[in-house]
Amino acid sequence: MFDLDRWQEIYHVLSKNKLRTFLTAFGVFWGIFMLVIMLGSGNGLQRGVTQNFGDMATNSVFIWTQQTTIPYKGFPRGRRYNFDNDDVKAIQNAIPEIKYLAPRLQAGGYMQTNNVIRGMKSGIFNIMGDYPAFNKIDPLNFIKGRFINDLDIKDKRKVAVIGTRVVDLLFTKEENPISQYIQIQGVYFQVVGIFASKRNGEQANEELFFDHFTG
């Protein structure tokens, strides 16, 4: 297996062609180095994206309305429209394969915040009106209490679920926020749950969910 003459011949060839040997070795090293870097970056990116999503369903789809771009059946271009509860029923009837359908309202519009008041304290937070099914799509990590349930929707209860950042800004450490009231756009809501987001960043813990009903 070990042939001294063969190894001497290899050493002789390599020593006679030092530049070619160096370039070949460097090319092999650089290829392996780049492969390791790309594999590491890909795995890191995948883990980062997965962590940002938390436990959100990977096959979920979100749709929202914008201004129309073309005229349609006599309606002008640039027309604004909004979904309503009839659209929810229409989607469920048209696409029975949908497992969970959770309409959502965002107070103040897309990517806008609203003022929330409790006593003499106030803060600016992202406020969403949700149905119970949304917790199936993007599960929350509850510290206390619960999420909005079907009975809340049926009885049109004014209840809210708040993040840990909301608790820090509107309540003292000695207070238990559960069953306390906060004011959202002039309406009082009772806190029924506190959550810590499974996603990265403080913004996720600044969210506030309230009972979504449209009459």
User: Which DSSP category does 205 fall into?
Assistant: G
Based on the domain organization, do 109 and 39 belong to the same domain? no
Distance CA 87, CA 30 (A): 57
- pLDDT over 60 at 185, yes or no: yes
Whole-number pLDDT of residue 32: 92
Confidence of residue 115 (pLDDT cuts 50, 70, 90): confident
CA atoms lying within 13 Å on the CB side of residue 137: 16
Based on the domain organization, do 181 and 108 belong to the same domain? yes
In a domain, 80, yes or no: no
Whole-number pLDDT of residue 214: 37
- pLDDT over 50 at 29, yes or no: yes
With residue 142 as reference, give the H or E element that holds it: strand 141-145
Tokens encoding 151:
């009975």
In a domain, 65, yes or no: no
- pLDDT over 60 at 18, yes or no: yes
Give tens-digit pLDDT for 122-131. Answer: 888 888 888 8
Q: How many domains does the chain have?
A: 2
Based on the domain organization, do 41 and 122 belong to the same domain? no
Based on the domain organization, do 206 and 116 belong to the same domain? yes
- pLDDT over 90 at 2, yes or no: no
In a domain, 78, yes or no: no
Based on the domain organization, do 44 and 133 belong to the same domain? no
Based on the domain organization, do 199 and 119 belong to the same domain? yes
Based on the domain organization, do 206 and 137 belong to the same domain? yes
Based on the domain organization, do 114 and 207 belong to the same domain? yes
Q: How many CB atoms lie within 10 A of CB 190?
A: 15
In a domain, 77, yes or no: no
Q: Which of 152, 135, 139 is nearest to 213 (CA)?
A: 152
Based on the domain organization, do 47 and 109 belong to the same domain? no
Query: What value does the mean pLDDT take over residues 158-175?
Result: 90
Based on the domain organization, do 111 and 44 belong to the same domain? no
Give tens-digit pLDDT for 94-108. Answer: 988 888 888 888 776
In a domain, 178, yes or no: yes
In a domain, 202, yes or no: yes
In a domain, 185, yes or no: yes
In a domain, 60, yes or no: no
Query: What value does the mean pLDDT take over residues 190-195?
Result: 93
Q: Which domain holds residue 153?
A: 104-211
Based on the domain organization, do 113 and 34 belong to the same domain? no
Confidence of residue 146 (pLDDT cuts 50, 70, 90): very high
Alpha-helical runs (H) found in the chain: 4-16, 18-53, 85-94, 134-137, 150-155, 164-170
Based on the domain organization, do 126 and 185 belong to the same domain? yes
Non-local CB neighbours of 60 within 8 Å, separated by 6+ positions: 137, 138
Whole-number pLDDT of residue 215: 32
